[in-house]
A and B are shown apart, each in its own frame.
Chain A
């Protein structure tokens, strides 16, 4: 293996090469830094590249390897979505508000991956405060989709998805509040996992909607996602919603046969709103699962249509509360020459936030304001309960629910920016899992024209093992996840 080809390998293959001494972490990291240099001008996937720190960390990992002190990710490169706090490194959340914010501490996710030996190469671009499905709300400009540079990579974890798809890095962290890991994974032909709510710590992950936010990964295979989840998952006392639940050996669970797996299909997922070529690719994937011994059953999620409106009450309400911390006083953007304290607050926030973030704060403030709370927020939390009940009933009969991740392949940049509702409906298949706190994964399952299509698998709470197992078995039979966009081989 020449160092020219190291970018083509996933985490598991890279770990083997490092273990056998075929190449060092320093060589690997240098090769990927060269990829960033060569390709990020066109993709805009990175906000910050930490080249010097990465080479130093790689050197230390090589040293540890020589001494036989090996973490499971020792010397393996990773990038973090710029929503995760990284000590001493710029953490912008894609916003002018945090343009100059240098975090004084590490997020738990960042810390755990570093403790296992992973080497951070940089921070990836994202929709501002993770509010968006196209990466166009970033203060630092949109990320481009490596499959077609005129298209969006999806969002909000668009920089993470684009950098993994373009073979710049083997893996990236992401966060998912309504589909922000899975939708960009689908649109870029990568594997994206959103774990169960509370499975991975939210400490140091800049909050958007705290009852929905969950950290996860974007990788080139389910096997690599299993490797990372094993390191990231687990109880964290610093996150008040972290769940103390044993972490299984996700890698050991991958080999299980799909014989007898009960796969639920939701009829509404294949209704008129679905692009024809996307539907065809997903149906072929379902047939492939069947040929491995899985059985397909129709399940009913009667309140599914209400998931997007429910989300657009709950998420903005929580966002308006969470983002009140940005007041121009303790950190973040501050307006020049304020007349008084009120002017300082209003102008710092008015200048620091972009249009979509402002809309969500205003929507949230409205639904929580006096006289409207019962009609909107309380009502939405009731409907949310109905949606969660639908899933609970469905999972009495099936092990996973399968369908499309997104209604259509990647759309052109600028196509959906005029109407917020059109953009919001992009997450119609993914939002339910967030509202019910369920784990879900998107894996590549074919193409619509030249653009990749994602298969969406949802599991019951703490069902990550079966999701990863199903995805892995599918990836043993198919090569969609190994397809590389032209010009990035």
Chain B
């Protein structure tokens, strides 16, 4: 096993993803297999190879800094789980 339970729990916390107790053994097993599999990349000779930034070597396009979108907050908030007065509601963050 290239990963252990603690490492997977740590990664899960970084990803803000709850892995249930009954999922953890299977997750450790499968993630380890994936990591072992991608480890074969280490054999490749990549000295002086420039990492790919874009498959067509295109550069990021810029646009004028002007407002192009109308305000559609009400429309967007129809999909929100909890809103009030145009705000998104979350559990209390500041004591």
Contact = CB atoms under 8 A, between A and B. Distances in A.
11 contacts: A104-B76, A308-B37, A309-B37, A312-B37, A334-B82, A340-B93, A346-B13, A349-B15, A350-B18, A367-B38, A383-B49
Chain B contact residues: over half helix, strand or loop, or mixed? loop
A436 B56 CA distance: 8
B41 A435 contact: no
Interface in A320-337: 320, 324, 327-334
A83 interface: no
Nearest to B55: A437
A173 interface: no
B17 A369 contact: no
Contacts of A349: 15-18
Contacts, number: 172
B75 to A, nearest CB: 5
Interface string A397-431: 00000000000000000000001110010000000
B91 interface: yes
Interface string B23-55: 100110011011101111110101001111111
B65 to A, nearest CB: 14
A375 B42 contact: yes
B78 A329 contact: no
Nearest to B63: A237
A243 B58 contact: yes
Interface in A80-118: 100-102, 104
Given A320-B15, A366-B11, A384 B52 contact: yes
A454 B19 CA distance: 38
A366 B17 contact: no
B60 A329 contact: no
Interface stretch (A50-58, A156-164, A357-365, A463-471): A357-365
Contacts of A197: 55-56
A359 B79 contact: no
B79 A385 contact: no
